[in-house]
Structures are given as C-alpha cells and as structure tokens.
Structure 1
Amino acid sequence: MTHPITDRRRVLTAVALAAVALVSSASVHARDPKEIVIGTSAGPYADQVKLGIKPLLEKKGYKVRLVEFNDYIQPNFALAEGSLDANIFQHSVYLNKFATENRLAISELVKVPTAPIAIYSKRHKTLTEVKEGATVALPNDPTNQARALVMLDQLGWIRLRERFDPVRASERDIAANVRKIRLIPLEAAQLPRSLQDADYAFVNGNYALASGLKLRDALKTEKISDHYANLVAVRTADRDKPFARDIAAAYRSREFLDITNLHFADYAKTDYQLKLAQAQRAQQPASPVR
C-alpha cells in the first residue's frame, strides 16, 4: 500500500497561494488595527468562536470577522500571508509539519477544546462485524492518517511494525493486514460522505459534527493526546501582540469554560480548562451535613 501523495496536492497548494496573495494584497494593509480576522473550518471550531470568543473580544473593543475554509491548506497560507490574524483548525503535529515544509513563520498560541477523531459506520452497529474486504475510509493527510492507523492497530484490524512512531505512522508501517480490510484514503472533508459507501470511516471531529454526526454515535473514539489537541495559530511575530494575548485570554476565561460546558460538553477540555474547573469546584461551599 502506498500513501496517495500526488501532484494534485501541489496544484492545490499553488492555487491556495495565488488566492491568498490576491486577498492579502487587496485587504491586509487597509484593515482596522482593532479588527481581528479569524480563519477556521466550518463546524464546531467556528461555533466556538461565534458563541464564546467573538463576544468576549467585542467587549474589549475588537471587531471580529470569521472566515470559514473547507480544506487544511489555505488557512495556514492565508495566515502567513496576512489575510488572517489567527486560525483554528489544526493540531500541533500538523502545524509544525506544514510550517516546516512550506517555510511559514506561524506558531501555536493556545490550545482549544477538541472533538476527537472517531470511527463511524452507517452499515454496521459494532466493530466486531468487520469482515474480510471491508472498506475503511481514513484521512489522506499524513498526521491524521497516522491517528487512524494507530486506532486500527489498537482494534487488531492491522498490525503496525515494531517501534513505529505513532505520530508519523503511515501505510508503509503496516506489517500485517490482519482482517484484510481495504483502506481508502480521502480528503478529510469527504469522509462524512464516504459513509454512504464505505463500511467504516474515520472522521475528524470538526467534519463529523458539521455533517450532523454525533460523537455519541461513534463506534470508537480516540483518546486525545496533547499532540492532537486543536489550537489557535498566529504569525510567530504576533504571539506577544495585544490582540493575540486577548484571544488567548478569551479561551482561558471562565466565560468560555461555561460555553464549553453548555455547548461542547463531549469535547476534550484543555489543561487550563480542567484546572479552572477544579478551582471552581474548590470554591463551592460544602453541602450542609444533615
């Protein structure tokens, strides 16, 4: 099995660069310094901004504009070129790899509550029903494909070679296809639709929720490590600027924790949210002894 890295991705990258250059040259320099333009994928991370972050920033006098993307390529180029001030759609593994390969000066600002990658099916109710030749759709970008392969190894459907790197696992690391499944790598945005044809599909949390899938309906959900917690990225030179500090403060606030508990309760909370929740519990008065 080979990983489908083709000229198509290079073409997409070139198109993204051209589009971003046009947008940035037309608008970046004329923008109000109190305007923050945030790029995100459609779905829960856009909703987090709309429900929790945007109102908090507006209270500080900012005008917040949200730009939604349907791929994992354009948002980082748009950020680096200056048409975005921040983006929210990726984890640190993807960010670091993409920034290094494309020589982009962009960096992590703050982690955000994250919906896990999970395996879904519309044809099967359990994972024990897998049969020889079953089709399994999974992300075709290297970092998210690695997550899916690790989960398949945990399920016993494949066996990865000894001493494989769980962050960089690829189809080349498959030592044995134990259940003789057929892997179908696809663009992340196509994975929810693949459930019409594939036996099983690994779907990133944002695309799952944007397509109407429920986390509780997943047949298996990834336990998110710090590597795969989604984050806010900014240009490296902007990390200490007031707008960046204010974005980070909004995510770390009690108000956003309340929004997370209300609207994103199934998401993996960040370390700072867990500490904040613990502090809130400690401040609550003890129940009277009866």
Structure 2
Amino acid sequence: MPSHRSVVRRRLLGLSLAMLASHNVAARDPHELVIGTSVGPYADQVKFGIKPILEKQGYKVKVVEFSDYIQPNFALAEGALDANIFQHIVYLRQFASEHKLALSELITIPTAPIALYSKKHKALTEVREGALVTMPNDPTNQARALVLLDQLGWIRLRPQIDPLRASEKDIAVNLKKLKLVALEAAQLPRSLQDSDYAFVNGNFALASGLKLTDALITEKISPNYINLVAVRSADKDKPYARDIAAAYRSRAFLDYTNQHLQGYAKTDYQLTQQAAAR
C-alpha cells in the first residue's frame, strides 16, 4: 500500500504537469514567468507591487495562487513555477531537506507578522485558566506561537531549548492551563469564532479581513521568519531571477510598500534604502 506521502507527491506531480501544459512555462520563453504564492496579501504584493515592474521590462507574468504550504515547493521543484513567494527560510530549509528538493532563497520580502487575535476578549489580561488557544500545526510557525506564549507568561518552555524548534512537548509548565489546539494555518482565522485566542499568520489574517492592528500582541519578527522569494537552486543566477530580485530592491517597490503594506516588517535592504533617502 503506498504511503500517504507518496500519494500526495503523485497528486502534486499530476497538478504540476497539468500546469506545465496549460501555462507554457518559462523554459520555453525566457520572458514568460510563472510565480506561485499564497492566496491573499502575498499574491496582491506580487500582482500589484512586483508584476508591473517586471512587465515594464518586457516580462509576461502569471501569478498562480495556492491555498496551502505544500504544493508551491513541489510545483517549483518540478518546473511548473519559476519562483514562489509564501515562506520563510526555516520552513524552506526544512521542507527542501525533508523532500530532497534543490530550492534556494533569492531575496527576502516585506512580511506580515504572526500575532494573537481574539473576537471574545479585548485584552490579554482577560485570559482565564482553561482558555482555548488555537495555533498553527506546522512545526516552524507553531514554535513561533509557543515562544510568544512563553513571553506572555501563559506557559513556561523548558530552559535552553532551541526557540526555532519548540513544540508542545517542550512546555514545562502550562501556567494558565490552556487548551492548545493545532490547526492548518488557513483555518486559524475561522477558529476565532470558537476559541478564546488564535495565533494567525499575517497573510491569512489579512486575507480574512483582520487588520494587523487588530492583534492583541504581535511578534517581533526574527530574521529567520522574514518571508522570501524561492527559486530552483540551479536558476538562482539566471537573468529572470536577477530581475525579480532587482524589482524587490527598486524604489518603485519601496514606494508600494510604504503606501500599501502598513504594519509589515520591511526588509533590511528597504530600511537601508529608506534611511539613505532621508
């Protein structure tokens, strides 16, 4: 009987091959780019911030939106995409290592932070023992949520753990006797109807109509969790990859960021560029 992973891999391979056939990928035309991203604000960031810059340079850009964090990396590795934009370096390295995919970071991008939201409570001080808290079920984003819970004093993590790898088994003391429920990241905004508090990734928060300023507490994003553009490792120095990176570094995209991405963490190169302009 085939493993669950092999079944998923075959299904994703079929999807990617169908995309290759229907979208006439860039390998057949160096000025035709297919960029994959997650549904919502990161798709908008590409469509309205980056795509116009690339199209002025003569590229034809197609944006393919995904509703999960699994398919975009397989689609990129198999050639259905030229780049994808949805993940941070910790997730990329773990996923690429686990699935033996030759994928690399190209450039970091403005990132919406993970944060704690509630529709039942207006303040963190309203937390009660036994509160239901939902959080991401993927290891890297769950670690971010647990570290923030530790900072709040709602739990205590074991000393000297690696904060990038924290999991529920690393909880030494559940001070508030929280009921922790791990869900797919895309389901977390909906969980606000039933939970006391929910950790929601910034992109899914914005896609669901939440404002970043609605959060009760927001993480200070570590460099490990700044989102990025990923490409196949063999393509990192190709002209199209250099042009995508240059589009993100452009003054036009900095202006777009300042106007449309309020509440996002800017990249180091944007902060440097902004400081130089003062």
Normalised-by-shorter TM-score class: over 0.9
- Do residues 274 (structure 1) and 271 (structure 2) align? yes
Q: Which residue of 2 aligns with 1:143?
A: 140
Q: Which residue of 2 aligns with 1:72?
A: 69
SS in 2 for 1:206: helix
Q: Which residue of 1 aligns with 2:19?
A: 23
Q: Which residue of 2 aligns with 1:226?
A: 223
Residue 103 of structure 2, aligned match among 102, 106, 131: 106
Q: Which runs of 5+ in 2 are unaligned?
A: none
1:198 Cα offset (Å)? 0.7
List aligned pairs for 1:1-290, cutoff 5 A. 12-24=8-20, 27-28=24-25, 31-281=28-278
What is the rounded CA distance, in whole Å, between the counterparts of 1:211 and 1:71 in structure 2?
15
1:83 Cα offset (Å)? 0.4
Q: Which runs of 4+ in 1 moved over 6 A?
A: 7-10
Q: Normalising by structure 2, report the TM-score.
A: 0.95
What is the rounded CA distance, in whole Å, between the counterparts of 1:92 and 1:11 in structure 2?
26
Query: What are the superposed Cα offsets for residues 140-164 of structure 1, whole Å, 9 maximum, x if unpaired?
Result: 0000000000000001111100101
**Which deviates the most, 27-36 or 42-51?**
27-36
Query: What are the superposed Cα offsets for residues 180-238 of structure 1, whole Å, 9 maximum, x if unpaired?
Result: 00001000000000001011000000000000000101000010011000000000000
What is the rounded CA distance, in whole Å, between the counterparts of 2:273 and 2:251 in structure 1?
7
Q: Give the total of aligned pairs.
A: 275
What is the rounded CA distance, in whole Å, between the counterparts of 2:268 and 2:125 in structure 1?
34
Quick one: structure 1 residues 230 and 23, their matched pair in 2 at CA, closer, same or farther if it must change by over 3 Å? same
**Is the 2:25–2:33 contact (alpha carbons within 8 Å) kept by the matching residues of 1?**
no
What is the rounded CA distance, in whole Å, between the counterparts of 1:29 and 1:114 in structure 2?
27
Q: Normalising by structure 1, report the TM-score.
A: 0.91
1:265 Cα offset (Å)? 2.0
1:8 Cα offset (Å)? 6.7
1:43 Cα offset (Å)? 1.3
SS in 2 for 1:57: helix
RMSD: 1.6
The residue identity in structure 2 corresponding to 1:17 is L
What is the rounded CA distance, in whole Å, between the counterparts of 1:127 and 1:53 in structure 2?
37
SS in 2 for 1:93: helix
The residue identity in structure 2 corresponding to 1:238 is D
1:129 Cα offset (Å)? 1.0
SS in 2 for 1:255: helix
SS in 1 for 2:106: strand
What is the rounded CA distance, in whole Å, between the counterparts of 1:122 and 1:9 in structure 2?
36
Quick one: structure 1 residues 133 and 75, their matched pair in 2 at CA, closer, same or farther if it must change by over 3 Å? same
The residue identity in structure 1 corresponding to 2:106 is L
Identity %: 71
SS in 2 for 1:108: strand
The residue identity in structure 1 corresponding to 2:129 is E
**Is the 1:24–1:78 contact (alpha carbons within 8 Å) kept by the matching residues of 2?**
no
**Is the 2:26–2:34 contact (alpha carbons within 8 Å) kept by the matching residues of 1?**
no
